[in-house]
Amino acid sequence: MSFGTALARAATVLAVLIGLMACGSTPHHDPAPLLPISESLGLGQAWQNSVGNRIEFSMQTGAANQTLAAAASRGTVAVVNATTGADLWRARIDAELSSGVGFDGKTVAVTTIDNELVAFTLGSKNQPVIPWRKMLQARVYTAPLVAGGRVFVLAGDRTVQAFDATTGAKLWSFQRASEPLILSQAGTLGVYQNTLLVGHSGRLLGINPDTGQVQWELSVATSRATNDIERLIDLVGVPNRVGDSVCLRSFQTSVACVDLAKNTVIWSKPSQGSTGVSGDATSMVSTESDGRVKAWSRATGDLLWTSDKLVYRGLSAPLLVGNSIVVGDAEGYVHVMNKQTGAFTARFKTDGGAIVAAPVVIGNIVVVVTAKGGIYAYSPK
């Protein structure tokens, strides 16, 4: 093991310990009681499936071509029909997984706690096979991104690597000196036109996906703290893009929207949260660490409304779709709120496991995944 790898692993462990100490010192608050909803409007349960019996990592589901890919901690990977919920195929490796799923409709990519990147696809007999697997130099918390015939990986030490999706050949690697401590949760990895978007500390990097060269960068969030722990700052969650506008979360610091065509930050507002954001052309919505849900003007950053009806319920990242906001909580409830007012329009009970991934929309189907491995889909009535 190289000195650099050992140092990265030590920093990762330290970051995890810091997180545990912080959790242990947080005062206990009872979750807000659920208010009755007279009638569930708009959505009904379409189907239910399961990927396994537990998910203990920062889950991100993969969606492509009316199909959905999910994975469980003990190495099960499932691809299902998003319309019916029926399995298309399943596979399993004898390893614990460390991150969510990358999926482009053909290749599924996951990472393990032993720092291995594993690809799945359908073989000649229409059965799932592992065409390749690669060792990485650090733990991965962010779901791989599969796009353009390549698999992109953002490691916990913020190294970015690209691999050929068919052969697993390593195409390039990018690394820049980062903060002394590492945030042990999913970072920011996405696509804008022909540019790879990567969060690095409080900066958003635009990287050439063919060469790994940084084309531009934006300072999205900064810290004025005086010690390493308080200075820890990073972008987290999938970037929310509408045209040239990309909205982002900086861990426990702020939410912001940037204009990538102009290479500028449009606005940034203080926000205490650790999950990604969601939005449409006019609005952006976030969930705070205390369970408040906030809606913002995408153009100006003005706060449109705040709801405290779900405080201390351990909320997932939200999904804004149509006129609804969908968010899950730590007790396995799925809440649907009106985009304009924040009023509740529907609520669904899953298997009681925390909603561990941001809800996703595929066509007219909204899908959530629980810590118990349950996959639940909802569609318009």
pLDDT digits (tens, 9 = 90+) for 163-217: 999 999 999 999 987 666 677 889 999 999 999 999 998 899 999 999 999 999 9
Q: Mean pLDDT over residues 362-373, rounded?
A: 96
Distance CA 357, CA 55 (A): 10
**Claim: this prediction has a pTM higher than 0.75:** yes
Asked whether residue 91 is domain-assigned, the answer is no
Q: Mean pLDDT over residues 88-112, rounded?
A: 96
Asked whether residue 202 is domain-assigned, the answer is no
Q: Mean pLDDT across the chain, nearest whole number?
A: 90
Of the CA atoms within 13 Å of residue 4, those in its CB half-sphere come to 11
pLDDT digits 0-9 by tens, 7-52: 344 344 344 433 433 444 456 899 999 988 866 677 899 999 999 9
Q: What pLDDT is recorded for position 178?
A: 67
Contact yes or no for 141/118 (Cβ under 8 A): no
Q: Mean pLDDT over residues 290-311, rounded?
A: 98
Asked whether residue 372 is domain-assigned, the answer is yes
Q: Is the pLDDT of residue 2 over 50?
A: no
Distance CA 105, CA 82 (A): 12
Q: What pLDDT is recorded for position 15?
A: 44
Asked whether residue 49 is domain-assigned, the answer is yes
Asked whether residue 140 is domain-assigned, the answer is no
Closest CA to 197 of 248, 255, 156: 248
Where residue 314 sits, what CATH number does that domain have?
2.130.10.10
Q: How far is CA 180 from the centre of its chain?
A: 23
Asked whether residue 343 is domain-assigned, the answer is yes
Contact yes or no for 331/320 (Cβ under 8 A): no
| Share above pLDDT 90 across residues of the chain, in percent, rounded to a whole number | 79
Distance CA 325, CA 348 (A): 13
Distance CA 109, CA 98 (A): 12
Q: Mean pLDDT over residues 133-140, rounded?
A: 95
The tokens 């329009």 sit on which residue? 345
Of the CA atoms within 13 Å of residue 225, those in its CB half-sphere come to 13
Distance CA 225, CA 333 (A): 37
Q: What pLDDT is recorded for position 176?
A: 85
Distance CA 278, CA 239 (A): 8
Residues comprising the chain, all counted: 381
Q: Mean pLDDT over residues 128-138, rounded?
A: 96
Amino acid letter, residue 211 = T
Asked whether residue 13 is domain-assigned, the answer is no
Backbone φ, ψ for residue 379 (5° rounding): -140, 165
pLDDT digits 0-9 by tens, 221-252: 877 666 666 667 889 999 999 999 999 999 98
Say whether 12 sits in a helix, a strand or coil.
Answer: helix
19-23, 125-129, 300-304, 377-381: the lowest-pLDDT one: 19-23
Backbone φ, ψ for residue 19 (5° rounding): -60, -40
Res. 314 pLDDT band, cuts 50 70 90: very high
Closest CA to 310 of 17, 95, 65, 35: 35
Q: Mean pLDDT over residues 360-369, rounded?
A: 96
DSSP 175-191: -----SS---S-B-EEE
Q: What pLDDT is recorded for position 225?
A: 62
Q: What pLDDT is recorded for position 218?
A: 96
Alpha helices in 63-193 (DSSP H): none
State which residues form the domain around 344: 39-57+274-381
Q: Which pair of tokens denotes residue 108?
A: 């599924």
Asked whether residue 314 is domain-assigned, the answer is yes
Q: In total, how many domains does the chain have?
A: 1
Contact yes or no for 247/279 (Cβ under 8 A): yes
Q: What pLDDT is recorded for position 230?
A: 62
Distance CA 91, CA 381 (A): 33
Q: Which pair of tokens denotes residue 35?
A: 């208010």
Closest CA to 154 of 95, 230, 192, 100: 100
Q: Is the pLDDT of residue 130 over 80?
A: yes
Distance CA 103, CA 120 (A): 10
Q: Is the pLDDT of residue 358 over 50?
A: yes
